[in-house]
Amino acid sequence: MSDQLKEFKDYRQRMNERILELDNRVIKRVFSVDSLTYASESRLQRPVKELLGLVASLVLRCDDCVKYHVAEALAAGSSHEEIVEAMSIGLVVGGTIVIPHMRRAVEFLDQLEPDAGADSGPDGGPEGGPDGDTIRPPGN
């Protein structure tokens, strides 16, 4: 486990425990619903749920949530490519304001899987898009 992932998980666990110590019924119920949503098997398998959570987190621009779902999607068996495709959906839904959050998500994913996704992929790399057009990063 990377140092950054361990640090993130330790902080998350410590603060979740602290929040639950506040003994607020609404907070406890929301935490419970969240846990049940991703833990229980249903028609949607856990990797799909994590990818949906990733898309929603990108659109809502919640960096902690994005990190959580990137790590959980990997743990649930999602491939690097599936995670990147989910991020592309989040970008389409959320618009270019999602790009700064996607940068941090890709950075975190690269730290978790340093050898994955190193090539430019089928959609073209920085040298060109799928139609051979030059791709210029947006100003965000």
- CA 121 to chain centroid, in Å, comes to 19
Q: What pLDDT was estimated at residue 53?
A: 96
Q: What's the average pLDDT block by block, 10 residues per block, for the chain (140 residues)?
A: 87 96 95 86 91 98 96 96 98 97 96 73 51 60
pTM: 0.80
pLDDT at 75: 94
Q: Copy the structure tokens of residue 108.
A: 């975190």
C-beta separation of 69 from 61 below 8 A:
no
CB 84 within 8 A of CB 110: no
DSSP structural state of residue 40: S
Output the pLDDT for position 124: 46
Residue 131: per-residue pLDDT: 56
What homologous superfamily does CATH list for 3-112? AhpD-like (1.20.1290.10)
3-class state of residue 137 by DSSP: coil
Four-point Cα dihedral 56, 57, 58, 63, nearest 10: 180
